[in-house]
Structure 1
């Protein structure tokens, strides 16, 4: 689907609804004067509330740049980015999970979560209940008093996800959060993230290099061309998302066909 078709597809979406993301003719350049580099664009894209969008492409195609624009960490050179009908505000519009957990190693798990809850404006009296709820969501019950360096890399990333969920904003942005983990831990966290987003109903934008990961997690996949990144493929994923055994899903013919389609699109977009 082309960028214009993507815009048309989102034309009927209420872009002011909490969690809806809209990019209108977004281009972003780095540098000044004659030393500029166009990282991404033009991109027209609407992500409806509650959707899990997997953003896929080769290294350097602008995936992380788009994520930073949606988070409000950067402003587009041209075009506009709206989240819930307004310009994104860094640290407020979305919960963000990076490739590395970026936790405070001198704090316990509880301390890291409580700090996020404090910044989210949660009353001190409500924090223990909210913390317990968040840790249960990511499968870390009973770890509150452990230091960051006392838990595994996979557990640290779970804490990072719980911290991102601490604020009651409707958007979750994830930049290859499982890339550095071993295959088994990565698959377990993918399953956890799938369940968490289904339960909370939050909109999610997930950056990945992996066609397998994109098909497993996404309710929709967008493939970007090589830099400057534009939309090469916009693919809705119709695989069942609730009450399905993950191994059965990954082993299905439909999953294999979608994975092959996305993999081919990534390679073609990188070579074009």
Structure 2
């Protein structure tokens, strides 16, 4: 299926984040996928999970990959993270081949925290690996926890906090790496609806106050409409680009309830749903 590019025009008096799409692919946080495909198995048993896919993501963009289960969106995320090499094509992150744990921070579906460490200890470990000086770690840790709404929790044990709070810790830990790229693989899928909405708001707010590139995987059209400055819908397996939509919804200066209640938000969600089931 040929891909469709759309630019939804949304009128708003609020200021929106401006993304410089003219930057070169060699800059920090930029992603380039050229004719990328991923196959598993050999011979008659080989299965193409995704591709071919071509995408250029400029620094600072919040890209949401959305599609039905099994369409290859998490596979693309693993390729961008460098967890596995592409069968064919080229994956470039910040001007080079991606290196796991170096090119990007990753937040998974499950928090994957160290249960024997405190909330602060989990973030401290990430700061240590990011080579933040020991004398600066406590202040930086507290700053990160505050950014994700976990003030005064550094001393608490992982089993003492809720699932939503644990996922907030995972996000803070990923931000601690101070990479120019953050990858999020359906991080809210296991959470209840209210907690999920609150975390969407947290992630959206954090993404608006830094220049980091974000790639977020979801199967929810509403989540994609709320979070993405750009939304790419994949077809059923093998996943290819069915829709590439630039969202002009404001990134700052608007309350979440106002955003979710706007006709423009509904229009974007409907376009994503239509492309996902085509």
Give the TM-score normalised by structure 1.
Answer: 0.94
Q: Deviations along 1:148-190, whole A, 9 cap, x unmatched?
A: 0000000000000000001121000000001111111100000
Structure-2 residue corresponding to 1:21: 31
Q: Which residue of 1 aligns with 2:66?
A: 56
Q: d(CA) in 2 for partners of 1:154 and 1:12? A: 37
Contact persistence 1:54–1:217 (CA under 8 A): yes
What SS does structure 2 have at the residue aligned with 1:17? coil
Structure of higher RCO (CA pairs closer than 8 Å, 6+ residues apart): 2
Give the direction of change, closer, same or farther, for the CA distance of 1:88–1:156 in structure 2 (3 Å limit). Answer: same
Q: 1:33 to 1:2 in 2, by over 3 A?
A: closer
Confirm or deny: 8 A CA contact 1:3 1:231 kept in the other structure: yes
Counterpart check, 1:194 vs 2:204? yes
Matches within 5 A, 1:212-223: 212-223=222-233
Q: Give structure 2 stretches of 5+ with no counterpart.
A: 7-19
| Aligned residue-pair number | 265
Q: How do 1:116-135 residues align onto structure 2 when only pairs under 5 Å count?
A: 116-135=126-145
Q: Aligned partners of 2:239 and 2:271: how far apart in 1?
A: 19
5 Å-filtered alignment, 1:168-179, equals 168-179=178-189
**Pairwise mapping of residues 1-272 of structure 1 onto structure 2 (< 5 A)?**
2=2, 12-268=22-278
- Asked whether the equivalents of residues 5 and 245 of structure 2 are also in contact (C-alpha less than 8 Å), the reply is no
Query: What secondary structure, in the 3-state scheme, does the structure 1 residue paired with 2:41 have?
Result: strand
SS of the equivalent of 2:131 reads coil
For 2:276 and 2:165, how far apart are their aligned partners in 1?
Answer: 30
For 1:31 and 1:115, the matched residues in 2 are separated by 37
* Aligned partner of residue 140 in structure 1, secondary structure: coil
Question: Over the residues paired in the alignment, what is the CA RMSD in angstroms?
Answer: 1.7
Q: Hey, what's the Cα distance between the residues in 2 that align with 1:216 and 1:202?
A: 18
Q: How far apart, CA to CA, are the structure 2 residues paired with 1:167 and 1:11? A: 25
Deviations 1:107-158 (A, max 9, x none): 1001111111111111111111110111011011100110100000000000
1:35 Cα deviation (Å)? Answer: 2.4
Deviations 1:52-109 (A, max 9, x none): 0010000000000000000000100001100111000000110100011000111100
Q: Residue 165 of structure 1: SS of its match in structure 2? A: helix
1:4 and 1:226, CA in 2 relative to 1: closer, same or farther beyond 3 A?
Answer: closer
Given that 1:3 and 1:44 are in contact with CA atoms closer than 8 Å, whether structure 2 keeps it comes out as: no
Structure 2 vs 1, CA of residues 5 and 237 (structure 1 numbering), >3 Å: closer, same or farther? Answer: closer
Unaligned stretches of 5+ in structure 1? none
Give the whole-Å Cα distance in 2 for the aligned partners of 1:168 and 1:108. Answer: 21
Distance 2:103 2:175 in 1: 12
SS in 1 for 2:46: strand
Equivalent position of 2:16 in the other structure: none
